[in-house]
Copies of this chain bind each other. A is one copy, B any other.
Amino acid sequence: MSRRSGILEFAVLGLLRESPMHGYELRKRLNTSLGVFRAFSYGTLYPCLKALVANGWLTEETVGSPEPASLTNRRAKIVYRLTAEGKSHFEELLAHSGPDAWEDEHFGVRFAFFGQTSRDVRMRVLEGRRSRLEERLEKMRTSLARSRERLDDYTLELQRHGMESVEREVRWLNELIESERAGRDQRAVDPAEQHQKDTSGDAGGLPRRRGGSRPDPSDDTTT
């Protein structure tokens, strides 16, 4: 019961699949790595974690307080770990490519886990998103044509900018789809097995354009 919106659940399972974590850290990852799109508060995250545990998808393991030999113990951390059922549940979710997968709220998170998604699902999601945007564009165009005369310059400009944004995303999707087609390897990577960065196997078809930004040696791998 209480299907906590899917998107948080999905992201949590996905992040925990990479490695066990406690809530606080999880939230930071949610709002940086995946972020940009959505920021969840503790009031949302913690109850969700409890629910996932209740579903048998996570186990919680208290770390810190039980040991009396504690010098470096802050308040007891609760480390969440994905169970086998949790993992297979996440894989089911990953495999779904239904219409909701390419809606605004879901698409971002789905994309963020494309590294663990099979290529055909990736393709369906990308193409679904694209046609979704294209029909939206169509609507915008007709409604604009119909009301152009009675709209003032600012409203028009807003509309124009909005359309341009959508067009831009379509172009982005086109590029992605094309480079997916170019790639041959449809394997989905299990991040738990992928201990060090796999530079050899090209699992997808990303153009890898990575711009400037010097490699910055400041290492804060804060636990």
Tell me, in angstroms, the Cα distance from A115 to B154 when the chains sit together.
6
Which among A35, A146, A152, A161 has the highest number of chain B CB atoms within 10 Å? A152
Q: A108-B158, A213-B148 in contact; A153/B208 too (CB < 8 A)?
A: yes
Residues B146 and A115 in contact, CB atoms below 8 Å apart: no
The copy count of this chain in the complex is 2
Give residues of chain A (98-120) contacting chain B, Cβ–Cβ below 8 Å: 108, 111-115
* Main SS class of interface, A: helix
- A contacts, CB < 8 Å to B: 32-37, 108, 111-115, 140-141, 143-149, 151-162, 165, 168, 172, 176, 189, 197, 204, 206, 208-211, 213, 216, 218, 220
- B residues in contact with A152, CB < 8 Å: 115, 189
- Distance of A109 from chain B, by nearest CB (Å): 10
Would you list 6 pairs from A and B whose C-beta atoms are within 8 A, ordered by A residue?
A: A34-B155, A35-B143, A111-B154, A112-B155, A113-B154, A168-B168
Q: A165-B165, A168-B168 in contact; A211/B36 too (CB < 8 A)?
A: no
Residues B210 and A156 in contact, CB atoms below 8 Å apart: yes
- Give A179's nearest chain B residue, CB to CB: B157
- B residues in contact with A197, CB < 8 Å: 149
- B residues in contact with A211, CB < 8 Å: 160
Given B148, B153, B160, B168, which contacts A115 in the complex, CB threshold below 8 Å?
B153
Would you list the 6 A-B pairs with minimal beta carbon distance, nearest first? A114-B154, A115-B152, A36-B162, A32-B143, A153-B206, A115-B154
- Distance of A186 from chain B, by nearest CB (Å): 14
